[in-house]
Amino acid sequence: MSARSTVFAPVPLSIQPVVIAGAGVIGLSIALELTRRGIGVTVLERGRALTQASVAAAGMLASEDPHNPAALRAISKYSIGLYPEYKARLEALSGLPVPVQTTVTVQYLEDGSAMQLAEESLDPRQLAAALLGAVRAAGIDLREGFSGSIREELRGRTLVISAGAWSSESGGNSRVAVAPRKGQMLRVTLPPALRSLREVHRSEHIYVVPRVHGPQAGTALLGATVERAGFDTTTNTADLARLRAMAAELLPALASETNAPLVESWAGLRPGTPDDLPVLGCGDDATLWATGHYRNGILLAPATAMTVADMIEGNVPAVDLAAFAPGRFVR
C-alpha cells in the first residue's frame, strides 16, 4: 500500500449523496466539485453560508509566503494551478466577477531585505458572492440555519466536516485538534500618495493588501492579529492601532488616521491546528475531515475540493496528504 493511500479509506461512494457540515469556502467548494462529478450533496450550515472566516480573510493566495510551513508547499502549488479554472467556473455559474486584485507581493524579511513574489490576491467577499451564486445555480441542497443532529441527518451517507473553527465540536464522537485563532483586521482609505498601490506589502507580522477592483477599490486591508481568544470576535481599538503602526513601518503614509481614514474593522476565527497544517483525510469512522486551513483557506479551497472529491471517489489524490492526516495528533 502506498504512503498516500494509507491516509484515507477509499470508500465507493459515488452512488451515495454526501453530507457536508459547514458552508464556508471549504464546504461549498467541495460541494461544487462533488456536484460537477455527479455526486449528490447536502450542505448543512448552522448559521448563514459564507459569513465566518471565509469573508473575514484578506484574500492573499500566499503560496510563496516563506513563513508558511514547508509541508504546505506542494498542496499550495497544486491549488494555485487549479485556481484559474475554479474561478472561471464560479464566474460562469454565478455571472459574478472575481477579479484578481494584485499580482505581486513585496515580502520583507527579518534581515531587513525585501523580495518580490509573484502571488495573486482576491477579494474574499467577491469570491463568496460568486461561490454562493454558483452553488445556487448548480442546484445544490444547501440548508442554512440547520439546528438538528448531523449524525441523524446522515442515514448511512458519508460525512465531510468543514465547520471551520468549530470543527472539533462538530464531529460528534470523533474529534480533531482544531481551535479558533482570532484575526482582527482594519480597512482604510488609501492616502493620495498610495492611491496607485498595486502590490501587497507583507512582513512576518503585518500585511497591507490593496483593493484595486470592485466596491473596495482605493482602500487597503491592514492585518491581522493572531490570537488565542476562544470564539470571541470583538475588535479592540488598541490592537487596531498596533496593526496600523506596524503597517506604517512598511508604508509610512498609512500612519495617520487623517491621511488614511478607517473604513471598517472586523475579526474572524481561523481554524487553527497545533502544527498550523490542515486536517484533510478520513477519520477512524469514515468521517472525512476538511478543516484546519488556518491562514490559507482561501488559497487552499480548490485543492481541498479536488482532494476530498478524489478521496470520495476512491482515487488517489494528486498531492500527498500524509502530513494532514486527522489522526496525527493522537498519541
CA–CA dist 162, 291 (Å, integer) = 5
Cα 125 to Cα 49, 57, 65, 282, 299: the distances in Å are 12, 9, 22, 30, 14
Nearer to ligand FAD, 89 or 182 (CB): 182
Nearer to ligand FAD, 165 or 325 (CB): 165
Number of residues that make up the chain: 331
Nearer to ligand FAD, 124 or 317 (CB): 124
Residues of this chain that bind ligand FAD (CB under 6 A): 21-27, 44-47, 52-54, 56-60, 62, 146, 162-166, 170, 183, 185, 223-224, 268, 270-271, 291, 293-299
Nearer to ligand FAD, 59 or 191 (CB): 59
Nearer to ligand FAD, 10 or 81 (CB): 81
Cα 278 to Cα 50, 53, 165: the distances in Å are 19, 15, 12
CA–CA dist 271, 45 (Å, integer) = 16
The answer to whether 132 and 32 have CB atoms below 8 angstroms apart is no
Q: Closest Cα to residue 61, out of 298, 225, 307, 301?
A: 298
CA–CA dist 283, 280 (Å, integer) = 9
Least gap, CB of 37 to ligand FAD (angstroms)? 20
Least gap, CB of 229 to ligand FAD (angstroms)? 12
Least gap, CB of 139 to ligand FAD (angstroms)? 20
Least gap, CB of 288 to ligand FAD (angstroms)? 13
CA–CA dist 70, 72 (Å, integer) = 5
Least gap, CB of 2 to ligand FAD (angstroms)? 28
